[in-house]
Amino acid sequence: MDQEKLDHMRSTLNRLEDIKNTQSSIIDKINHVITDLFQHPDKNLEKVMEDAHQKASDNIDAIREAMEEYEMAINKMENQA
């Protein structure tokens, strides 16, 4: 087993987790803006925030899928040792 490659893959997996968490934080912030817009409506801003929320949510889904596949690759490499 190539320990250096495995360490690099684990590091990459950690970065992916960080990206996923950042996207979750972005969604929380967008939700705060959306909530504020209930009291001070702005149709244009609402649309932008809804679109941004959807994109961030899609990013989380894509990253989660990539992480699962990458984790399986790491596990496979570990089991080949």
Domains of the chain: total: 1
**Structural domain boundaries enclosing 62:** 3-79
21-24 long-range contacts, Cβ below 8 Å, gap at least 24?
Answer: 23/56, 23/59, 23/60, 23/63, 24/60
Predicted confidence band of residue 61 (pLDDT cuts 50, 70, 90)? very high
Residue entry with tokens 């912030």: 29
Residue 76's identity, in one-letter code, is: K
- Summarised one tens digit per residue, pLDDT across range 16-52 is 999 999 999 999 999 999 999 999 999 999 999 999 9
